Every structure is written in C-alpha cells, then in structure tokens.
Chains A and B, each alone.
Chain A
C-alpha cells in the first residue's frame, strides 16, 4: 500500500512500521472517535437515517470487494450484480427449501460466491480488458436468468420472502440491530481487505495489475493469484448479497439489474481506483445520491408531480456525474482529497522540492 508522507517527515525504521494499518496515534484516536460516532448514531438518529446507514454499509461491502478485484488486481468486472444475486438467491433458496438458519446460509452464500468467482475468473485467464468486462457482463445475465427461472418454476414469481434471522436467540427484525450488524460486517470486510492487501496476495495483485509478464517473471503465479482475487471478491460480494436478502426480507431478481452492476463500478470510479477509502467514499456517494436528488427536486420543484419521473432524473443525473468523474477527475473523490491534503502539506510552497521530495 502506498502511503502519503506525514507532515513532519518519514520516521519508519522497520518493515513492521511500514505495514502497520494505523501508524500514528492521531489515526488511532480518529478511528476510535469514528467508531464511537457510528455506534452512537442509532441512539439519536431517525429511523430513516438508520435505514440509510444500513444501505451504505451494504454498499460498502460490495464496493470493497469490487475494489479488491478491479482497483488492486486490475481485473474488470461488470457482473457484480450477478454475484450479489447469487448470494441473495442462495439464502432465499436454502431458506425456502430447507428452512436453513442464518449460520448455514451465510457460509453457503460465501461458498457459492467463491465457486462463481472461479467461473467468473476463468475467462480472465484467457482474455483481458474489454473482453473480460464483456464476459463478466454475460455471466451477470446468466445468473439473473437462473434466479428468475427458479422464481417462476417454484411459483415465487413475485419474489421470495425471507424471515429475519435470529442471532443468539434474538430475532433480528429491529433496524437498529441491523445497523450494528451491518456496521460490523462492513468493518470486518474492510479489515479483511486491508490485510489481504498488505500480505503477499496484495503485492502479487499489484504486480499483476502493473504488468503481467513482469509479474510472471518475478515468480508470481499469475493465473492462481488472478483466480484468488476473483474468489475473494466474489465470496465477499455474495455475502453482501446474502445480508441484503436478510435485511430486505425479500429476494427478487428485479433488484439485481445491469444498472446495479453499473452502480458498483461507478462507486469505485467515483471513490477513486486503488484505494479502500475510495471504495467507502464511493459507496457513500452513490448510495446517498438518489436521496440528494430527491431532496433537490423536492426543494426546487415543490408541488409539481415529480414522483413519476424521479427514477429518470436519477438515472440522467447519475450518468452525468459518472461521465464528469471519468473525464475530469479519474482519480475520484480520494484524488480530490489527496490533492487537497498535499496542498496544505506543502503550503506555503506550491510544488514538491525538486529532485529530493519523497513521495
């Protein structure tokens, strides 16, 4: 992981310090503060905000998984919705057919996700770039079709209803409880991703993304590490899908359209490629975006019937924002932040010292 220098200089003396997730005391306290704030939020916030928080945490899990695959290992996927659908349908089917409990369905969803990860990843061993994007797109349609087929064949054409799971004897039907569970899941995913990235696997993925031939020459098993990236990413995504199924209490193939895949890709672009913080920012941005649009419409077009066109306004604005980021700020929100931080770090100077500046 690349690190920006701290204002006072570069004082690390061993690799352990280089690998530390939170190297400074300030960062550790900031994390504690953030956690307290996030955990305290449900005590004061309205039900709407709590629901929004849960949505953001779900999106964060999916975006982190996609960032692992696309932002770090460099493998493009347009089939993210298919993987979410796979996780959700694993829960739905196991619940409907076998009345399977929470602690069975979640690992099952992860296993299905991992298996699909291999399937999604196999084309990546033969094709790259555009062609890989297209093959994952095709698999997205395939998974959605299988889900739809199950729904119609079994007579759940409107969707599968899933009862809330019970955790340690307590039924998880309370939004506040869900908020905490999803926060924990998102935090766990973040920790897992950060650890994967600072271990051997992370360095191997960085090498593969930079140059496959060089990576192979360095003794990295390109095929196996690519598959590993697909497996981790897909398993995490499927778990996100499974959590989504339980949280919504309802599984239907309509929820997993191509647009959802595009939204996840937009999250990592808008957030900033190659940064876990970027994935979180992007998930936050894309999840809150429709609500911001709705609020803006409510303010500017008060009284007019905008509800019918809300989806259309949303899609149009979303496309425009995505284009704006791609054209104007390819580094995403995290790029904006870094530029700002660098500005203040170097102030009153405008540029790094010539020749000697450590990046």
Chain B
C-alpha cells in the first residue's frame, strides 16, 4: 500500500514537471533542458519572498509563482527569441548553457546548503494516515491535488481558451498561424511563462515537502523521460509517461537496488527511443525521423 502511495506521489511530481517540457515543445519545438534549473530557481525565489512577506505564506507563494512566470517569459524574450530560425539544436544547447548558469547563480546567491522554505513560512509537514496503513505527507497530498488541477486547467485552456487555441495553432503550423494574425513571439513567450509556472508549482511543493538543494535540478531532468515516453507533444501522454516511469522507478528501487534510482528513467527512455521514438501518444510525423 505504501508502495502504491509512493508511486502516486512520484507520478504526480514527474507529471507536474513533464507538462512544462510538453508545453514548450508542443508550441515551439524547442526542448528546454533548463527546466529543472528553472524549477529550482522558483523554489529559491520562494525562499526570498518568504523572508519578504514574513507571516503571509500564501502571499509569498503567489509572489514566487508570479516571479517564476515572469522569468520564463524573460528567458524566451531575451534568449530563445534571438535564436529564431537557427538550428533547433542551438536552442537546446542554449537551454543547457542556461541551466549551467542558473546552477552557478543559485549557489552564489543562496549557497549550496540544503534549505527548508517551509520553516520561514511557518508551515508544518505532518503525515496523514491513509486506509491500508500507508502514510502521505500533507505537502505530497497537496502536490497530487495540484497536479490534477494543473492538468485539468491546461486541458481546458488548450481546448477552449482563445489563447490556448492560438497556442495549438502556432504549434501545428507556425507559418499559417502567423498569416492568420497570431503574434508568434507572444505565444512562445506565453508558453515559456506557463511552462515555468507549472515547473515553479512543482519546485515549490517539492521544496516545502522535502527541502531545497542543488539536487532539485536532477529531479527536473529525471522527469524529462516521462514527457518523452508519453510523446513530447502530448499532455495526456505526459501523465501516462509519468505513471510508467514512476512505477518502474519505485518498483526497481524497492525490489532490486536503491542505487538504480538515478538511471531508471533513462533506461525507460532508451527502451522507448529504440522502439517507439515518438512516444505513446506523440505525433509520428512530427518526429525528425530517419
């Protein structure tokens, strides 16, 4: 039973992070390998806003989320926009470089020590007992709920929202979308904002649950296989991919070897890339396939 809860929580974590990869890839065909670092930055921003708005935890969290969305938009406007029309790979390498930069910068500003933003917020982390003898921490439960809410909101936004429809159009055919009068740069910046916002939610909740350190960027990278397994341009795929990767990871750690934790997602990734590179729900034509 505890195993099932562990899988559920890890699935929620991976799914919440993976939808950030999917959003950006689906709209602009750019793979953002700095997603983990951006997520870590958001959690550190919470640390800052928590000291700024001491005693108002909700204000602090809202401020951190808003700042993160702003950062995401800025990353597009100041970095990725300059690479329009260049090789897709240049954009990916730029995000890699951004990741390195952010890792260094966060250590410089906030030091490399493990920190606990839950303390300045005055939030406690008690465990809830579930039927069947399993336990789940409050923050983890909130994380699962947040993931569900975020996915529901994203589905609704992309299917019925005016801007969501524009985003899908831009993703399907940028040229036609631009001809139709859609401002591509605004759409891409919005996608980056939203992606960083969902990443920030994940980063903040993980930091509140289990503390904040440089390892968070690695969690972000480990969620990437979840996005790819489901298909890089499919939100539903990301959810299922997260479930597959999380189950494989928890099971293998529990029954085989705890050291495997670092590699399981990437093993799954290799298997999928060899057999079905476009993922479970991805669009087959979209893949730059040989």
Is A312 within 8 A of B107, CB to CB? yes
Is B98 within 8 A of A311, CB to CB? no
Residue B274 contacts which of A76, A78, A126, A145 (CB distance < 8 angstroms)?
A126
Q: Does A130 contact B (CB under 8 A)?
A: yes
Q: Does A339 contact B (CB under 8 A)?
A: no
Give chain A residues whose Cβ lies under 8 Å from the Cβ of B93: 265, 269, 322, 326
Give chain B residues whose Cβ lies under 8 Å from the Cβ of A126: 273-274, 277, 289-290
Is A323 within 8 A of B90, CB to CB? no
Per the bound structure, the CA–CA distance linking A135 and B272 in Å amounts to 10
Give chain A residues whose Cβ lies under 8 Å from the Cβ of B54: none
Give chain A residues whose Cβ lies under 8 Å from the Cβ of B88: 129-130
Closest residue of A by beta carbon distance from B101: A319
Beyond the given A262-B97, A315-B103, please list 9 additional residue pairs across the A-B interface where CB-CB is below 8 A. A131-B277, A135-B273, A138-B267, A148-B259, A262-B100, A266-B97, A319-B99, A323-B94, A327-B94
Q: Does B228 contact A (CB under 8 A)?
A: yes
Closest residue of B by beta carbon distance from A315: B104
Q: Does B43 contact A (CB under 8 A)?
A: no
Per the bound structure, the CA–CA distance linking A195 and B50 in Å amounts to 61
Give chain B residues whose Cβ lies under 8 Å from the Cβ of A141: 262-263, 266
**22 interchain pairs, CB-CB under 8 A:** A123-B274, A124-B290, A126-B274, A130-B88, A130-B89, A130-B92, A131-B277, A133-B89, A133-B92, A137-B266, A138-B269, A142-B270, A145-B260, A145-B262, A262-B97, A311-B104, A312-B112, A313-B104, A319-B97, A322-B97, A326-B83, A326-B93
**3 closest Cβ contacts across the A-B interface?**
A319-B101, A316-B104, A315-B104
Q: Which of B229-275 contact A (CB under 8 A)?
A: 259-260, 262-263, 266-267, 269-270, 273-274
With contact pairs A138-B270, A142-B267, A326-B93 given, residues A320 and B83 touching in the complex (Cβ less than 8 Å): no
Encoded as 1 (CB less than 8 Å from any A CB) or 0, chain B from 111 to 140 comes to: 010000000000000000000000000000
Closest residue of A by beta carbon distance from B269: A138
Residue A138 contacts which of B31, B90, B104, B266 (CB distance < 8 angstroms)?
B266
Per the bound structure, the CA–CA distance linking A142 and B262 in Å amounts to 9
Q: Does B288 contact A (CB under 8 A)?
A: yes
Shortest distance between the CB of B38 and any CB in chain A (Å)? 13
Residue A128 contacts which of B94, B101, B289 (CB distance < 8 angstroms)?
B289
A residues lining the B interface (CB < 8 Å): 76, 78, 122-131, 133-135, 137-139, 141-142, 145, 148-149, 152, 212, 259, 262, 265-266, 269, 309, 311-320, 322-323, 326-327, 330
Q: Does B175 contact A (CB under 8 A)?
A: no
Closest residue of B by beta carbon distance from A125: B290
Give chain A residues whose Cβ lies under 8 Å from the Cβ of B180: none
Give chain A residues whose Cβ lies under 8 Å from the Cβ of B263: 141-142, 145
Per the bound structure, the CA–CA distance linking A61 and B99 in Å amounts to 26
With contact pairs A135-B273, A141-B262, A265-B96 given, residues A319 and B83 touching in the complex (Cβ less than 8 Å): no
Is B266 within 8 A of A142, CB to CB? yes
Per the bound structure, the CA–CA distance linking A128 and B287 in Å amounts to 9
Q: Does B162 contact A (CB under 8 A)?
A: no
Is B89 within 8 A of A313, CB to CB? no
Q: Does B213 contact A (CB under 8 A)?
A: no
Is B277 within 8 A of A322, CB to CB? no
Per the bound structure, the CA–CA distance linking A129 and B267 in Å amounts to 20
Q: Does B5 contact A (CB under 8 A)?
A: no
With contact pairs A123-B273, A139-B270 given, residues A312 and B287 touching in the complex (Cβ less than 8 Å): no
Q: Does B145 contact A (CB under 8 A)?
A: no
Residue B101 contacts which of A122, A269, A320 (CB distance < 8 angstroms)?
A320
Per the bound structure, the CA–CA distance linking A322 and B269 in Å amounts to 27
Encoded as 1 (CB less than 8 Å from any A CB) or 0, chain B from 71 to 95 comes to: 0000000010011001011101110
Per the bound structure, the CA–CA distance linking A205 and B48 in Å amounts to 51
Per the bound structure, the CA–CA distance linking A125 and B277 in Å amounts to 12
With contact pairs A130-B92, A319-B98 given, residues A327 and B82 touching in the complex (Cβ less than 8 Å): yes
Give chain B residues whose Cβ lies under 8 Å from the Cβ of A269: 93
